[in-house]
Chain A
């Protein structure tokens, strides 16, 4: 069925002699003449990730199609959900494409904030790992959460999350406050070998870690500052924050701990009532293709769900999850459970911080 549609559009394109747009696959093909002058509004990350996505996803899409892309920059990687919900409820979302963190995504699905994206509109879906396709968009930007450590101060590389508890790192470790749910699961991996459930044993493990913790941080920029100044020697952080620093000469490295690392990805969604759903689909489909995905892996070492992406050996090591097998080794996370328990975990976490 979709194949037939493909064909007819292709023929049509040829018939009208608009072959220039051939690089974009058929159903979501927005030809220059069709789309030129239209405006697509996309939420983007801030910092380096935002820059790579602007340079390698947004600008090439814009050049290819003639679509003007307006970028709204998020704070870090969290979209302003309160605003988005209010806008969708009023029928006037200000953006056409929004990358969602998994917890935001679950909230969005529960509140009916997104449009479904039909696979037949997305030719590139054929090349993605099926479990990275949600009904509301593909999960892109696969970042991996492991241990960063200072290679000047720590001569033997850590191998496990448990190394965070080593007494020699008294006052030299840190945790991510913004992703405290991951800190809880990490403590569980060490204490009982599985990520859930969060209970008294979880917090008992964290209390034992407390003397080592210099601070908690909330943004990647803060993490970077702590690593750069040597204030913190060892901490859980995502790979894309570590390797660019290493390349700048900061003495740090990244390991994926043996108890299991975490991999998260952000579904790219279209809010219900978006002004340009067709352009949005075309943009998301283009973003899934190998060239933009490869650029992200090369620039910031975030992996892709696209099986056609081939990583050079040194990049493959840095993206952590370059193959299906490596992906399978990541700790599975149940975001429904996480979102349901977040308020309770947060209260216990806040109480723990004060104890």
Chain B
């Protein structure tokens, strides 16, 4: 125990050590270290995201063939007569997919909240499994299910329910099915976690005060799960805005999305400058959606605080 005496007093005395660290923090060195933790991630982002983004912006204002800066590519987005309407249809598609995900995903998340651990795990595995499959394999499997000679049409015809095959593929319906299948997980997971966060005693309190089960659901459960719903819907919406392969395969290219227009600009028209401009517009739109969504979420949090 003699060695104790040689230690600096601050280390020997736990309270002294605490004090000295606190002082460091006050002097700002600790805070600097704290922010320093961000450095690796920021460095990576600067390299793989912000720098290429800068290049993209630079490229977009240099239309091929024009010597000076020009916004012609951005103007073309709105005025070339096709691109804006394709963009509008992409938004519509994203809206359909989000709605479908909500209709299927919300009840599923409710079920998972009530279910025991085993059932919960099974449901979770099924929901997440499409994310583990290759997009091509998934889509081609759907072709076999939804095709004119596919499983669904064959079954319905044998059951005598239809005479002519239903058009389930190569249209918006087919794309919505294919995209919903994989993005459902992005809705279910946030909704599920926000449902889990609801204190059951709040619902019990409501029903003990005479609310019917439906009223409890409508006035307590749904409002409390809204942050998850908003987060999940935003994710699905934003992801669908960038969808490419599924409309190509399951939409038969008749459903054109903005990413398909950009791919063609790059691959067959070699107009990288215009593709860059369209990408920036899409990115800006997505940023607006994200900001609106996080504002809505914050607003709900505030309302809850007032309650």
Question: A82 interface residue, CB < 8 Å from B?
Answer: yes
A81:B253 contact, CB within 8 angstroms: no
In residues 68-115 of chain A, which contact B (Cβ within 8 Å)? 78, 81-82, 85, 103, 107
Q: How far is the CA of A343 from the CA of B82 in the complex (A)?
A: 12
B85:A346 contact, CB within 8 angstroms: no
Given the known inter-chain contacts A81-B267, A343-B269, please indicate yes or no for A350 contacting B261, CB distance below 8 A: yes
Q: List residues of chain A with CB within 8 A of the CB of B167.
A: 171
A216:B80 contact, CB within 8 angstroms: no
Q: List residues of chain B with CB within 8 A of the CB of A354.
A: 82, 85-86, 89, 256
B149:A225 contact, CB within 8 angstroms: no
Residue in B closest to A171 when the chains form the complex, CB atoms: B148
Q: List residues of chain A with CB within 8 A of the CB of B254.
A: 215-216, 353
CB distance from A67 to the nearest CB of B (A): 31
A347:B85 contact, CB within 8 angstroms: no
Q: How far is the CA of A243 from the CA of B131 in the complex (A)?
A: 36
B270:A107 contact, CB within 8 angstroms: yes
B264:A215 contact, CB within 8 angstroms: no
- By size class, the interface of chain B is 20 to 34
A215:B170 contact, CB within 8 angstroms: yes
Please give the number of chain A residues whose Cβ is less than 8 angstroms from any Cβ of chain B in the complex.
28
B253:A215 contact, CB within 8 angstroms: yes
B269:A346 contact, CB within 8 angstroms: yes
Residue in A closest to B86 when the chains form the complex, CB atoms: A350
B81:A231 contact, CB within 8 angstroms: no
CB distance from A169 to the nearest CB of B (A): 13
Residue in B closest to A78 when the chains form the complex, CB atoms: B267
Q: How far is the CA of A81 from the CA of B271 in the complex (A)?
A: 11
A216:B253 contact, CB within 8 angstroms: yes
Question: B143 interface residue, CB < 8 Å from A?
Answer: yes
In residues 156-189 of chain B, which contact A (Cβ within 8 Å)? 167, 169-170
9 residue pairs of the A-B complex, CB under 8 angstroms, read A174-B252, A214-B170, A222-B249, A229-B143, A342-B269, A347-B81, A351-B81, A351-B82, A353-B256
| In the complex, the 9 A-B pairs of residues with the closest C-beta atoms, listed nearest first | A215-B252, A216-B253, A215-B170, A177-B253, A351-B82, A347-B82, A350-B82, A343-B269, A107-B270
